[in-house]
Amino acid sequence: MGRRIGILGGTFDPPHYGHLTLAQEALLHAELEKVIFVPAGQPPHKPGRPVTPAVDRLQMLTLAVAGDERFAVSSWEIEQPGPSFTVNTVSHFRSIYPDAELFFIMGTDSLLEFTTWKQAGEIIRICRVLAGARPGTRKEEVASVLMAMPREWQEKITVMYDVPGFYVSSTLLRERIKQGLPVRYLLPDVVAAYIEEKKLYR
């Protein structure tokens, strides 16, 4: 078996245990060697909301994965000018790992919108997709979106329905922090400490 590498893109504003469990389940499911977390520079899917500076999101993610040698963080998207598109990211990692099997990891909420992504067909040509069931996403909805996709796409997409769901989102965390509510047990303590120190999301 050749090298098998996972790529998990996102805004990570902030990173939380939903992201970490998703990465771990993908790693287990597809027997990946590692998962590379790739924070977006300018996320194209999050218009209308000021996103926390990339350096802070990169730092929070680095803290979040520290101590787990199966996880790595890439600053590639952040270093690129303009909005971050997954098609460019997977092409970049394809050039770094020309012979590896690449897996782009996402939650099922992202999978529902996948067909609207820039050059989705090209993404699917370059890598496989692993989607982890996100609490709240309806199974029937995922199934019907998959059914509407071309056969070649369906063959390269795996939905992991049987994963421990973590009912947390970055949106929820930003709101809780703003309201002064505790976020402990929803994200790593080191990330919470960084948020506190930098007074993020107030």
Q: Which is nearer to ligand ATP, 13 or 56 (CB)?
A: 13
Question: Near ligand ATP by CB under 6 A, which window of 11-19, 75-83, 86-94, 114-122?
Answer: 11-19
The footprint of ligand ATP on residues 119-148 (CB under 6 A) is 132, 134
DSSP 115: G
Size of the site for ligand ATP (CB under 6 A): 18
Residues in contact with 199: Cβ distance below 8 Å, sequence separation at least 6, in sequence order:
none
For residue 163, the one-letter residue type is: V
- Closer to ligand ATP by CB, 98 or 120: give it: 120
Binding mask 15-54 for ligand ATP (x = CB under 6 A): ---xx--x--------------------------------
CA separation for the pair 37, 23 (Å, rounded): 9
Give me 53's structure tokens. 């500076």
Q: How far apart are CA 145 and CA 118, in angstroms?
A: 17
CA distance 122 to 124: 5
Residues contributing to the site for ligand ATP (CB under 6 A): 10-13, 18-19, 22, 106-107, 109-110, 132, 134, 166, 168-171
